[in-house]
Structure 1
């Protein structure tokens, strides 16, 4: 019984750790906001800085294979990775940089 409770508790805690790195919007250094659903050109215009890195890869959406691009930006000591699929921001993840 204790093992089952420990397993459930560990799964519950790990879901919070994973969920804490995902967000639906990011505020840029200039105060602009980029949301999930914005176009890639809106994202680039609002962030107004070059990405630290960019990575393209293919993902399957239903029966189609589409190209996804991850843009990583360093904004206020946080690394934000914005995933763009079909010219639309689909996902925003963040990781705080070590001081």
Structure 2
């Protein structure tokens, strides 16, 4: 059984944090692309009253989806960064802490 203490490698976790950040921005970009495409589709419709209502619904849905994605992935990143910090601060190379 391995004893606790010693150096800790956090490289993989740090790469995961950066990957989560990249996924967050890609998801936000896809949401924005979907909102703009939906708005263009609504503007291409002949009925302006229906197009305005459809565009408003798409913008509201996009805003809520973007907020949820931004908050959730941000929370995920911050939680993982906090755990990385805890791992680095609790690792010790002191020989006396191994017994």
Higher share of residues assigned helix = 2
Higher share of residues assigned strand = 1
**TM band (smaller chain):** 0.3 to 0.5
Question: TM-score with structure 1 length normalisation?
Answer: 0.32
Higher relative contact order (CA 8 A, sep 6+): 2
Question: TM-score with structure 2 length normalisation?
Answer: 0.32
